[in-house]
Amino acid sequence: MPNPVPSAVSDVPPDVLPDATARTTPPPAAVRLRGLVRRHGEVRALDGVDLDVAAGTFTAVMGPSGSGKSTLLRCAAGLDRPDAGRVEVAGTALEGLGERRLTLLRRDRIGFVFQSFNLLPTLTAAQNVALPLRLAGRRPARGEVRAALARVGLAGRERHRPAELSGGQCQRVAVARALIARPAVLFADEPTGALDSTTGAEVMDLLRALVDEEGRTLVMVTHDPVAAARADRVVFLADGRLAGELAAPTAGAVAARLADLRPAGAGREGTGGAAC
Ligand SMILES: Nc1ncnc2c1ncn2[C@@H]1O[C@H](COP(=O)(O)OP(=O)(O)OP(=O)(O)O)[C@@H](O)[C@H]1O
């Protein structure tokens, strides 16, 4: 019987082989930012940021307080609109999208984890995780939510409400909820900021494993050099601009770079920082 599947490259007609250019072109970035500007009144929170994040990698964003980290993350995740520049997530440009299409893109392609978990207190862990699917009009497949909770180490906690869970467990629920729709990119804004160091380290173990074992793409803002050192790459912001990066970071190298970025005694704290 003829075999319709070519057994070797030499069996493939030349016109269907990728050309040399195609073979050397890197895969499209999961996140691509170009010339990003975001003003808050007089403050240029972002002042022309260019950044590419490769799929399947873990990037940490660091910088002094007020340097624009959260603004960068929110613009990249479609939660905030830049005043100028371009944001692409998984090959889709965000700037031309109307509110409805942006909402759909956020729902289907983007996961976001907040420092304060943002779980709904009246819902169980399972109901919180299922919420994005429910909002999309989808009934979760049998076992889907349970498997998502098991993946983050919360097997058996499906029926617990946030008040019955520790901070670390709440953040795990939030991670499971962010991943349930299988987003192209997971953004995390200070995901360990509300946790003690041991619990924070456990959440970092989970985030690292999601990249290593499942090929997830993660972009995380943090103030903690130890957390940032778990990333493949740390990019630094100062005054709304990129201020260098470190590959294969160590906590010591991250802390030293951060100290260089801080003017003696302060970052931009007190220069119009957001109200608390
Ligand atoms: N909604 C807002 N209204 C007014 N100014 C804002 C707003 N959001 C951010 N800013 C200002 O933009 C600048 C960047 O803020 P952003 O929160 O992005 O910085 P950050 O690096 O994340 O700070 P932190 O580390 O303190 O969280 C700051 O000067 C901040 O005061």
Q: Which atom of ligand 1 is nearest to the CA of 72?
A: 18
Residue 24 alpha carbon to ligand 1 centre in Å: 39
Taking 90 as the threshold, does the pLDDT of residue 19 lie above it?
no
Cβ of 273 below 6 Å from ligand 1? yes
**b/e 130-158 (16+ beta carbons within 10 angstroms → b):** bbbbeeeeeebeeeebbebbebbbbeebb
Cβ of 267 below 6 Å from ligand 1? no
Atom 5 in ligand 1: which residue has the minimum CA distance? Answer: 40
Question: Among the listed ranges 13-17, 50-54, 170-174, which one has the minimum average pLDDT value?
Answer: 13-17
- Domains of the chain by residue range: 28-261
The pLDDT value recorded for residue 264 is 58
pLDDT digits (tens, 9 = 90+) for 23-48: 566 667 999 999 999 999 999 999 99
Q: What is the mean pLDDT of residues 60-67?
A: 97
The pLDDT value recorded for residue 10 is 41
Domain 28-261 has CATH 3.90.420.10: no
Burial tier of 107 (Cβ tally within 10 Å: 0-12, 13-18, 19+): middle
Cβ of 67 below 6 Å from ligand 1? yes
Q: What is the mean pLDDT of residues 241-245?
A: 97
Taking 80 as the threshold, does the pLDDT of residue 9 lie above it?
no
Q: What is the mean pLDDT of residues 65-70?
A: 96
Cβ of 45 below 6 Å from ligand 1? yes
Cβ of 222 below 6 Å from ligand 1? no
Taking 90 as the threshold, does the pLDDT of residue 269 lie above it?
no
Cβ of 71 below 6 Å from ligand 1? yes
Mean pLDDT of the residues in the chain: 88
The pLDDT value recorded for residue 26 is 65
The pLDDT value recorded for residue 262 is 79
The pLDDT value recorded for residue 141 is 86
Per the listing, tokens 């991250």 go with 254
Atom 30 in ligand 1: which residue has the minimum CA distance? Answer: 273
Q: Rounded CA gap, 216 and 199, in Å?
A: 21
Cβ of 69 below 6 Å from ligand 1? yes
Atom 3 in ligand 1: which residue has the minimum CA distance? Answer: 40
Q: What is the value of ipTM here, to two decimals? A: 0.97
Cβ of 157 below 6 Å from ligand 1? no
In this prediction the pTM is 0.87
pLDDT tier, 173 (very low <50, low <70, confident <90, very high otherwise): very high
Residue 273 alpha carbon to ligand 1 centre in Å: 6
> Which amino acid is it at 262?
R
Terminal-to-terminal C-alpha distance of the chain: 73
